[in-house]
Structure 1
Amino acid sequence: MSKGRGINVDVTEPEKVWRPGSRDDGDVSPTGGEFPRDGEETVGFWRVATKTADDNHAERIAEGIPNPFRFHPIKMLTITAKSTSRLSSYTHILLPAIPAGIVMWYTSRDKSPMLVFIFNFIAMIPSGNLLAFGSGELQHRLPKIWGASLEIFTGAIVEIIICLILLVDKQFDVVRAALLGSMFANLLLISGACFLAGGIAWKEQKIAPYVIEVSSAALLVSAVGTVAPSLFFQTIHYRKDVNEHRAEMRVLRVSRVVSIGLFFSYLCFLFFQLHTHSSSFHRVLERAESVYIGRKQYRKKLSVLEAIFISTIGLVCVSFCAYFLVREIPGIVEEKEVSELFMGLILVPLIEKTSEHLTALNQAWDNQIDLAIYHCLGSTIQTALLVTPLIVMVGWAMNLDMDLNFQLFVALSLLFAILVVGNFMRDGKTHWLKGIFLLMIYYVLAVAAFNDPNEKKEAWGKSVREGVEAAHAAHASAANEERRRLFKFL
């Protein structure tokens, strides 16, 4: 990517080799001017950009936006096949898994449940990508801030669908693990992969202070609100005056009330980002656009009608594949000896937001680290403040005992993960070594989750222990009664 006024908008590939010294390509605008630094006055969107250059840039973007009511099947398929990045377009190879998973559900779910699970697991990737791409095309008709928020919200749709199906199926432990697993995947796996990919392509990248400050504060608040009911249960569970049933009812009540507060916090977060401090967020988006320009901005785009059609197809496919996938989880856990915690914490979150993960990786590779981090941390905040309380409140409305009583191990791990990520971003720079460290932490959590014993498998041992304890208690009681009778006789 060249620097200065001679920037070539047709160059879309980032550097694939490391160069010594610092890079400051992030301050170059697509129109040839320099992006405004802190404390400097601006003319238009960029400091030294001319009106003609800015207008030319806007016109080139507008050339790819068709009439909103156009519906051209061939053009729609061609644009969808190209997608917004190479990573996203590669997922179209997995499209045959969608009909294969649906057919196997109706023909082989009794004979080959593992194959049904695998095919629908794979089919979730292209299905979610279709939904994300279709909704992403709608944002070209919206302001930048609303468009970016819509793109983040689309990733939550798949997560909400999977969690609701698990909730109706009363797989509460898997729901809880999936919620925290989504946060871990965004915080550690995808953030680490973005740091690594961006560090390989650009050696070192700078993060906007706005992204660090707002995201860190919201992450800490959301983490405390999410895991507080778990810590509350651990506190009262071992009190002698509180039995297990009473403790569970108390934590259920706390979870429901806390969920209302978390949801209100999410509304305040949106109001802050989209209204009161929207100018700061807008500058972050403009800076990201100024860093990288090319076919992603000037490419042909879907019309509103075509985008809605693609989004509907993606939503239908996601719903069917998610339902078939979730219904096979209990059988896989019991018959194949897969840890229930590993299933919910690692496997399910991997395919919930695949398209969003690919988008973040592509942005980090293109030196748009602000957008990549916003995708990762914004999705985590959305899961904690929107998806999690929404699932609890839906369970409340359906009279289901869905609470926020997470395992103590994963609850504390979430707090530690947020502290680690916040510390890594504190200096405003990212590089490949930080990415390796984040991936290592995620690897440790995955190993621990894989070796977590299922409660059902330990039921026999638990019953034996309870029987032995009951026998010892009966023997001690009989011995005491015998001594009492002996003393009475004497």
Structure 2
Amino acid sequence: MNLLLLFVPVSLVLEYVVHAPPLWVFITSTLAVVPLADWLRKATEHVAHHAGPTIGGLLNVTFGNLAELIIAIFVLIEGQQAVVKAQITGSLIGNALLGLGLAIVVGSFGRHKQTFSRENAGQLSGMLFLLVVALLLPAFFDYTERLPGFTPSDAAERARLNDALSLGVAVVLIAVYLLNLVYTLVTHRDVFALDGGEEMHGRPWPLARALAVLVGGTALIALESEMLSGALEATSSTLGLSPFFLGIIVLAVVGNFAEYLGATYFARKGQIGLAVSIAVGATVQVALLTAPLLVLISHLLGKPMNLIFTSPLELVAIVAVALIVTAVTKDGETTWFEGVMLIAVYILLAIAFYFVTPHEAPDHRTGAVLAPPAVTQRA
């Protein structure tokens, strides 16, 4: 992982000294974000060690998706709201399917099965179905408003209603997220305490060092994210891939790679309960905190984004996450084949997203039809 830090200076040289083609800037910036996100995770853990269990748990869950949030903000600044929503979908399916699937498979080597708290799994499953309702509701509302007899005569009015609904949903989701923190970290901490706890590599860092790494890592991720987002459109044209696919697969995996490593590491050590909490908890965090925050931030930036996922494939993916993760975790035990099933569902969805061809869509603000991007995505 630390070897990938070499891509930080390489990407900066390519962007600001050599002025290399956007494709190389995109690749090196993407690879640079991966180790930086891991160091951000480590720094957060060490700060949490000094802050105590309750505040520490709050720090861990709050800053767990910071790298992804930063990437999404810079993509928003570029006006790529559809890519940000694709990144949200990609994070949901990546954490719950790819991240958890890899953790279960790796953790099952040499073990017949692994067991974990059914209470914790049950709560996470309930949260998954909450996010399904929250993310499907705006899409069905938009569809209803387009039906004959229900459609407002003015497209701008329909956009205003969609914005208002998305903002309302965002506020409710953030409130639920905060109440969930109180529930799991304060009032029912004994119920959701994980057996064995989370071990820290080596001695705890001094608080000053941990804070310095946290601040420095955040600044570098912001810089790399700015270069990455600036090269996104040109990279998609060069590779013949849509920005949608890059957002839902590449950016989502990069932003959450640290969670994949963490979940796999603890599963290998026999702490599958912690691995499930990391993978599924990160999924819940994306839906209840990251996505709503991006809606609010987009309005502050003057680049308004709603929570309407118009692609049926995205809606299918969101529902699939809740169904299969609940089916795998409801009995409080896992086997390697269940991990294979999770990974298989992720691969199937990735293949479907690869063959998606961008199509004409109404502009979010005016209702005017936009021309599709000059990208055809076919083998």
TM-score by length of 1: 0.70
Match of 1:168 among 77, 81, 95: 77
Match of 2:376 in 1: none
Match of 1:107 among 10, 17, 23: 17
Match of 1:373 in 2: 276
Q: Letter of the aligned partner of 1:446 in structure 2?
A: A
Structure 2 residue 182 is the aligned partner of structure 1 residue 271: yes
Tell me: CA distance 1:230–1:120, structure 2 relative to 1, closer, same or farther (3 Å).
same
Tell me: CA distance 1:247–1:364, structure 2 relative to 1, closer, same or farther (3 Å).
same
Structure 2 residue 120 is the aligned partner of structure 1 residue 211: yes
Root mean square deviation, CA, Å: 2.2
Match of 1:281 in 2: 192
Tell me: CA distance 1:461–1:450, structure 2 relative to 1, closer, same or farther (3 Å).
closer
Distance in structure 1 (CA, Å) of the matches to 2:149 and 2:324: 36
Listed as ranges, the matches of 1:70-85 within 5 Å are: none
Deviation at 1:353, TM superposition (A): 2.0
CA contact (8 A) 1:183 1:380 kept: yes
Deviation at 1:342, TM superposition (A): 1.2
Structure 2 residue 321 is the aligned partner of structure 1 residue 417: yes
Match of 1:229 in 2: 138
Match of 2:343 in 1: 439
Count of equivalent residues: 363
Match of 1:124 in 2: 33
Q: Kindly provide the CA deviation profile for residues 262-316 of structure 1, in whole angstroms up to 9, marking residues without a partner as x.
A: 111111111111221112123x2xx133xx9xxx558322111111122222112
Deviation at 1:107, TM superposition (A): 3.2
Tell me: CA distance 1:108–1:337, structure 2 relative to 1, closer, same or farther (3 Å).
farther
Distance in structure 2 (CA, Å) of the matches to 1:423 and 1:400: 38
Listed as ranges, the matches of 1:281-300 within 5 Å are: 281-282=192-193, 284=194, 287-289=195-197, 296-297=199-200, 299-300=202-203
Match of 2:229 among 298, 311, 326: 326
Deviation at 1:336, TM superposition (A): 2.9
Match of 1:361 among 254, 264, 268: 264
Q: Kindly provide the CA deviation profile for residues 130-180 of structure 1, in whole angstroms up to 9, marking residues without a partner as x.
A: 211112111222333442442232221111111111112210000101111
Tell me: CA distance 1:342–1:201, structure 2 relative to 1, closer, same or farther (3 Å).
farther
Q: Letter of the aligned partner of 1:179 in structure 2?
A: I
Tell me: CA distance 1:205–1:112, structure 2 relative to 1, closer, same or farther (3 Å).
same
Match of 1:261 among 172, 179, 182: 172
CA contact (8 A) 2:46 2:207 kept: yes
Deviation at 1:245, TM superposition (A): 4.3
List runs of 5+ in structure 2 lacking aligned partners: 362-368, 374-379
Deviation at 1:461, TM superposition (A): 8.6
Structure 2 SS opposite 1:353: helix
Percent identity, aligned pairs only? Answer: 24
Deviation at 1:399, TM superposition (A): 3.6
Deviation at 1:236, TM superposition (A): 2.2
Q: Which has the higher contact order (CA 8 A, sep 6+)?
A: 2
Distance in structure 1 (CA, Å) of the matches to 2:303 and 2:205: 42
Q: Kindly provide the CA deviation profile for residues 37-91 of structure 1, in whole angstroms up to 9, marking residues without a partner as x.
A: xxxxxxxxxxxxxxxxxxxxxxxxxxxxxxxxxxxxxxxxxxxxxxxxxxxxxx0
Structure 1 SS opposite 2:304: coil
Match of 1:351 in 2: 254
Tell me: CA distance 1:460–1:323, structure 2 relative to 1, closer, same or farther (3 Å).
closer
Which has the higher Rg, Structure 1 or Structure 2? Answer: 1
Deviation at 1:414, TM superposition (A): 0.6
Distance in structure 1 (CA, Å) of the matches to 2:287 and 2:124: 12
Match of 1:391 in 2: 294
Q: Letter of the aligned partner of 1:319 in structure 2?
A: A
List runs of 5+ in structure 1 lacking aligned partners: 1-90, 463-490
Structure 2 residue 361 is the aligned partner of structure 1 residue 450: no
Match of 1:97 among 7, 28, 39: 7
Distance in structure 2 (CA, Å) of the matches to 1:201 and 1:146: 36
CA contact (8 A) 2:99 2:259 kept: no
CA contact (8 A) 1:198 1:204 kept: no
Tell me: CA distance 1:414–1:127, structure 2 relative to 1, closer, same or farther (3 Å).
same
Distance in structure 2 (CA, Å) of the matches to 1:142 and 1:398: 33
Q: Letter of the aligned partner of 2:172 in structure 1?
A: G
Q: Letter of the aligned partner of 2:158 in structure 1?
A: A
Tell me: CA distance 1:97–1:288, structure 2 relative to 1, closer, same or farther (3 Å).
same
Distance in structure 2 (CA, Å) of the matches to 1:134 and 1:461: 42
Tell me: CA distance 1:152–1:241, structure 2 relative to 1, closer, same or farther (3 Å).
closer
Structure 1 SS opposite 2:357: coil
Deviation at 1:241, TM superposition (A): 5.2
Tell me: CA distance 1:356–1:417, structure 2 relative to 1, closer, same or farther (3 Å).
closer
Match of 1:195 in 2: 104
Distance in structure 2 (CA, Å) of the matches to 1:183 and 1:218: 12
Tell me: CA distance 1:323–1:201, structure 2 relative to 1, closer, same or farther (3 Å).
farther
CA contact (8 A) 1:166 1:174 kept: yes
Tell me: CA distance 1:145–1:433, structure 2 relative to 1, closer, same or farther (3 Å).
farther
Deviation at 1:455, TM superposition (A): 3.3
Q: Kindly provide the CA deviation profile for residues 246-272 of structure 1, in whole angstroms up to 9, marking residues without a partner as x.
A: 433322221111111111111111111
TM-score by length of 2: 0.90
Q: Kindly provide the CA deviation profile for residues 24-44 of structure 1, in whole angstroms up to 9, marking residues without a partner as x.
A: xxxxxxxxxxxxxxxxxxxxx
Distance in structure 2 (CA, Å) of the matches to 1:152 and 1:257: 23
CA contact (8 A) 1:231 1:408 kept: no
Q: Letter of the aligned partner of 2:284 in structure 1?
A: I
CA contact (8 A) 1:129 1:314 kept: no
Distance in structure 2 (CA, Å) of the matches to 1:121 and 1:460: 28
Distance in structure 1 (CA, Å) of the matches to 2:21 and 2:74: 21
Distance in structure 1 (CA, Å) of the matches to 2:72 and 2:200: 34
